Amino acid sequence: MRYILLVFLGACSYGILSTIVKLAYKQGYSPAEVIGGQMFLGFVLTWIPALFFLRTKPPLRQLLLLVAVGLTVGSTGMMYYNALQYIPASIAIVLLFQFTWMGVLIEAVMTRKMPGKETIFSLLLLLTGTLFAGGIFESGGLAQFHILGVIFGLLSAVSFTLFILFSGKTAISVNPWLRSSSMATGSFLLASLIYPPAFLFNGALLDGLFPYVFLLAFFGILIPTVFFNYGMPHIGPGMGAILGAAELPMAVLSSYVILNESVSILQVSGVLIILLGIILPEWLRQRNIRRNKVTS
């Protein structure tokens, strides 16, 4: 239960990001500044505690593999933030949320085992809730699609699926703090190649950009990667994808509270359906455990 809670909280942490990105864009900051600043500060924030665990000296090969996994973290952020330039956050997050079925599908292919009826039913609930919560059925919902935004949004889903898959299987013997800092290194390297960190030299970081990218680094890199690295090896990518759906209710809530965006009855219904889809698999699992104890 502890590991499930950690992954759930990590997913909730991701849900705050779209609101912070919107606020940064409103202040005139570019995707290059927002993405580059987040990855840089994420690199710094994760390495500060990781330095205390360097005495364990994990094999260099394992650290390099984790750096490679970090590329998926960086690419998820870059694709998603670029999608937000072309389509509303409600649409972008619906596209990102395709990772829920992608993760379960990949796990089924890798294990050569069909997901159980409970998992399939949970996925159906998640997809249904996502469509409602994302405002697809609202007036003008479909008209807000833009081809570039759709492409970036779907690519962010693929990238996040790969992160969920590999974060739970790569170098799991390495201390979670070192795993997180190594992944953050990969994210920062990728962001620096695509968006050279000009913000470090042009004064933007200290001229108002810092609060936004610090929050993005804290909630988008430090918290989720550490929590995922602790929890994901114990629950698997399928359950991880389901728990990751907690991101959308948090995104809707933060948009309502911070941005004062209106939330319709359909969106609230979608959030409730998503929460049901998250809770259902664990409730059924606990029920089966209790039944087995009674019959044994």
The predicted model scores a pTM of 0.79
Residue 181: per-residue pLDDT: 92
What count of other Cβ atoms lies within 10 Å of the Cβ of residue 142? Answer: 9
- Give the pair of three-digit tokens for residue 72: 């998926």
What count of other Cβ atoms lies within 10 Å of the Cβ of residue 60? Answer: 8
Query: What is the rounded CA–CA span in Å between residue 167 and residue 11?
Result: 14
The residue among 249, 223, 224 whose CA lies nearest residue 93 is: 249
Residue 292, SS3 per DSSP: helix
The H or E element containing residue 236 is: helix 223-243
Asked if residue 59 has pLDDT above 90, the reply is: no
Asked if residue 296 has pLDDT above 70, the reply is: no
241-293 tens-digit pLDDT: 777 778 778 887 887 788 777 778 887 888 788 778 877 776 776 677 777 77
Query: What is the rounded CA–CA span in Å between residue 19 and residue 200?
Result: 24
99-122 tens-digit pLDDT: 877 877 887 888 888 877 777 888
| Ordered alpha helix ranges (H), the chain | 2-15, 17-26, 31-50, 60-86, 89-96, 99-111, 117-133, 147-167, 176-194, 210-217, 223-243, 247-258, 265-295
| Ordered alpha helix ranges (H), 134-209 | 147-167, 176-194
Please report, for the chain, the start and end positions of each structural domain, with discontinuous segments joined by +: 1-295
Average pLDDT, the chain: 84
